[in-house]
Amino acid sequence: MKNNIKISLLFCLFFFITGGINHAQSTKTLKKREARLKRQIKQTESLINQTKKTQQATLSELAIINKQINYREELSNNLNNQIKQIETDIENNSEEIIALTNQLKKLKIEFKEMVRFAYKNRNKDFNMLYLLASSDINEAYKRMKYINQYAENRKLQAKEVKHTQERLAQENEQLIKNKEEKLLVIDEAKSTKESFEKDKAYQQKVLAKINTNQSSLQQKLNKQKQERDKISKAIKDAIKKELAKTKPKTNPKTNKTETFKQSPEAKLLGKKFIENKGRLPWPVNKGTVTRRFGKQQHSVVSTAYIENNGVDISTSKSASVRVVFDGTVTSVLSIPGSGKAVIVSHGDYRTVYANLKEVSVKTGQSLKTKDKIGVLITNSAGISESHFEIWRISGGDMRPVNPSPWLIKR
């Protein structure tokens, strides 16, 4: 019976500890994500303030507003989850307080009985007579052991009463903190909702301005598509030209095809690049992704789709661009009407940095992580957009990969 009780207590303790750990991890994750969202909202607010100075509604401005609305919505959900978590904590603490209070009452009664018994038998002669009344030496030993254990149990019971009182005080203190925290998070959630509504109203205002002249909007869309196509073609052609230099060649003397072998340095660099997936710095110091990788519906014209080989990051005016990993510059491109682009080799991978106004590197130059590559063009909205791509090179094949999982989370 005693063994069963011990096992039950161990299981309860295990679930209490693991439950506490999971709860702590959940709360920590929510708080971490909240801080990240607030940083992102701060960046988008800064960019929107810059676009407002131009006194004209642009597609770039709308893209940033849409992103900010997404962040606000996610922050609102995060805060609601925190409120639910706190409510669960309050409920658990209340139940724990009830259990501890009942336990404390029971311990005090038991301890009171022990003290009363000890007081009645405080005469030292009683213990001696109790031992002398034993029928033999074994019984005398057992009685002596019992007297010692009883004294020890009384001390332990006193410690348990004190420990339970301390735990009860801690739980009450934590309950008060949880209730105060809940009120603060509720206020934060209300404020976030109000900001969300303001953003939505401003979004509709900008959208209405853009939609005022449909023909002008279509012209803008066509121009943007032409620019994207031009940049995409220039990058593909440049990488193809690089690969053409490394294609296997036929030896005229032996009539055998020589297999191209990548240098050990290039292999090692490619391996290191892969190992750093998810830890690469952003190509700009700060900013927000306003156009993701792959095919996506246009934010204004539902019938229009955009095919993106990388990501577009809206950032501050004339921001500097930096390389995301050690590598060698293999191409510096000048694209008429669309600025300049730089391609950097990292073994089996290439990173592409486009929409540059100025370039501060040259072909063949070795770069270290975060070395400056150039300065971005400032668009009509008064901000800059960094276009960043990652290409995977395998043999003679090449394909763009989604850069988002490669960059460190912000």
Helices (runs of H) and strands (runs of E) counted in the chain: 6, 14
Residues spanned by the domain of 123: 19-211
Region 264-277 average pLDDT = 80
Read off the pLDDT of residues 279-320 as tens digits, 9 standing for 90 and up: 999 999 999 998 899 888 766 666 667 888 999 999 998 899
Confidence of residue 62 (pLDDT cuts 50, 70, 90): confident
One domain for residues 176 and 245 = no
One domain for residues 264 and 313 = yes
Percent residues over pLDDT 70 in the chain? 72
**Within a domain: 145:** yes
Indicate the residue type of 43: Q
Q: How far apart are CA 353 and CA 366, in angstroms?
A: 16
**Within a domain: 241:** yes
One domain for residues 155 and 255 = no
Q: Report helix, strand or coil for 105.
A: helix
One domain for residues 153 and 234 = no
DSSP3 helix / strand / coil % (the chain, rounded to 5): 60, 20, 20
One domain for residues 246 and 380 = yes
One domain for residues 311 and 364 = yes
One domain for residues 203 and 234 = no
- Fill in the DSSP letter of residue 226: H
**Within a domain: 14:** no
Read off the pLDDT of residues 85-100 as tens digits, 9 standing for 90 and up: 888 888 888 888 787 7
One domain for residues 232 and 189 = no
Beta bridge partners of 359: 374
Any idea what the CATH number is for the domain that residue 275 is in? 2.70.70.10
Residue 364 zone, left/alpha/beta (φ > 0; ψ -120 to 50; rest): left
User: Are β-strands 305-308 and 366-367 bridged in parallel, bridged antiparallel, or unpaired?
Assistant: unpaired
One domain for residues 226 and 353 = yes
